[in-house]
Amino acid sequence: MTYYAPIQTVHGHSIDPMNILPTDINIHDIAHALSMQCRYNGHLRRFYSVAEHCVLVSQMVPKKDQLWGLLHDAAEAYIGDIITPVKVKLNDYIDMEEAIMAQIAAKYGLCADMPESVHKADKYLLTLECEWRDAGCPSDLHGIRGLNPSAAETLFINTFRGLDKPRPKIHLAA
């Protein structure tokens, strides 16, 4: 049996990523962790966080899918970002990511499956990010600014606060 310790988030939550529950999930933990993770495994001339990427995806989709767009990489706050060519070879990682995303979707009242508009926006943004990277990561090409972690975290939280969120389902006692 393999032993592992739960992770301790920056906001003081102790979380077992192998058994995460909706009650464990905190938007501030997500924003902070994603703002500290650089896209492309850090192979950029300028810092560009997963948090900024998520905000851009949320801006590219219809209003009804914007929260899904913002949270589409939120599992990475708990298990890290792995570059796609490696991720597709790691079935256990993909299963963990999907399980965590299911809990995040439950926490925030999202449909179980990521909307197609989010998939398309994520793939399209990838092409824009490649142009940005190939151009030397200039400031504000395609809306990509390469914000520092603190600014990216603030942008993520402010975006979250500004989105329409599903109302929690209320179950009345019979």
CATH architecture for segment(s) 7-162: Orthogonal Bundle (1.10)
- Residues 93-113: what's their mean pLDDT? 93
pLDDT per position as a tens digit, 112-162: 899 999 999 999 999 999 888 888 888 777 889 999 999 999 999 999 999
Task: Give the residue extent of every domain in the chain.
Answer: 7-162
pLDDT per position as a tens digit, 14-42: 899 889 999 999 999 999 999 999 999 99
Q: Name 24's Cβ contacts closer than 8 Å, sequence gap at least 6.
A: 13, 15, 16, 103
> Would you place residue 82 in the very low, low, confident or very high pLDDT band (cuts 50, 70, 90)?
confident
> Would you place residue 170 in the very low, low, confident or very high pLDDT band (cuts 50, 70, 90)?
very low
Burial (Cβ within 10 Å: 0-12, 13-18, ≥19) of residue 169:
exposed
Angle between helices 50-60 and 116-134 (to 10 degrees): 120
> Would you place residue 2 in the very low, low, confident or very high pLDDT band (cuts 50, 70, 90)?
low
pTM recorded for the entire structure: 0.89
Query: What's the token pair of residue 50?
Result: 């997963």
> Would you place residue 88 in the very low, low, confident or very high pLDDT band (cuts 50, 70, 90)?
confident
Decide which of 141 and 79 is more confident.
79
Residue 75 has pLDDT above 50, yes or no: yes
Longest dimension (CA), the chain: 62
